Amino acid sequence: MAYSDKVVDHYNNPRNVGSMDKADPNVGTGMVGAPECGDVMKLQIKVNPATHIIEDAKFKTFGCGSAIASSSLATEWLKGKTVDEALDIKNTDIVNELALPPVKIHCSVLAEDAIKAAISDYKAKSTVETAVTA
């Protein structure tokens, strides 16, 4: 099966690979996986607490080319968005952008799950933080 040029590009030059401090209150971490293919994806966002804008995003994915490309693209899209705007990113957007074939759609679903997980981790942390300081 041939990968699209965009998948190959993200696979060969993945954007924003790395990790951030999980303990940082402004960092949200999403760890997701797909048992049938053994993929694991970690996606992190760093949010400016005053503006709710995602200032940085990092990922590390162990999986196929499409899973790596999906999460790489997700980090590109996340940067500069507010947390609420980021929640609007749909797996179908990723499918369209990367021209993923039907058998690889679950990779985009995984990336969407990772975004949602990172945001909900950040939100859970920032609520606790606010409660403590209030």
Quick one: 1 or 103, whose CB is closer to other proteins?
Answer: 103
**Catalytic option among 41, 94, 98, 107:** 107
Residue whose entry in the numeric block shows the structure tokens 């952008």: 97
Task: Determine whether 64 is an active site residue.
Answer: no
Provide the 8-state DSSP code for 20: -
String marking each residue 48-77 x if it binds other proteins according to CB under 8 A: ------------x-x---------------
Phi-psi region of 81 (alpha: psi -120 to 50; beta: other; left: phi over 0): beta
Stretch that binds other proteins, among 5-13, 45-53, 66-74, 105-113 (CB under 8 A): 105-113
Nearer to other proteins, 55 or 114 (CB): 114
Binding of other proteins at residue 36 (CB under 8 A)?
A: yes
Placement of tokens 């074939």 in the chain = 101
Are 2 and 95 in contact by the 8 Å Cβ rule? The answer is no
The reply on whether position 34 binds other proteins by CB under 8 A is: yes
Task: State whether the Cα torsion 26-82-30-97 is positive or negative.
Answer: negative
Which residues are marked as active site?
Answer: 37, 107
